[in-house]
Amino acid sequence: MKIVIVGGGKLGEAFSRLLTKERHDVVLIENKEALAEELADRLDALVLYGDGSDRRLLKDANIESADAVVAITGDDKTNLAVCEIAKDSKVANIIARINQQDSERAFARLGVTALVDATATALLAFKKLVEKPGKQLVNFVAGGKGEIFEIMVRKESKFSGRTVSETAKDFTIACIYRDDKIIVPKPETKIREGDVLTICAPLEEVKKIEAML
* Domain range list for the chain: 2-117, 124-210
Architecture category of domain 2-117 in CATH: 3-Layer(aba) Sandwich (3.40)
Choice between 196 and 102, residue whose per-residue pLDDT is larger:
196
The pLDDT, as a whole number, for residue 77 is 95
DSSP H or E segment with residue 69:
strand 68-71
Residue 137's pLDDT is what? 86
Q: What is the pLDDT of residue 31?
A: 96
Specify the fold of 124-210.
Alpha-Beta Plaits (3.30.70)
Question: Has residue 132 got a pLDDT over 80?
Answer: no
pLDDT tens across 133-170, in order? Answer: 788 888 888 877 899 999 999 999 999 999 999 999 99
Query: pLDDT tens for residues 100-115?
Result: 878 888 998 999 999 9
What is residue 86's predicted lDDT score, i.e. its pLDDT?
A: 97
User: For residues 10 and 19, what is the distance between their CA atoms, to the nearest angstrom?
Assistant: 14
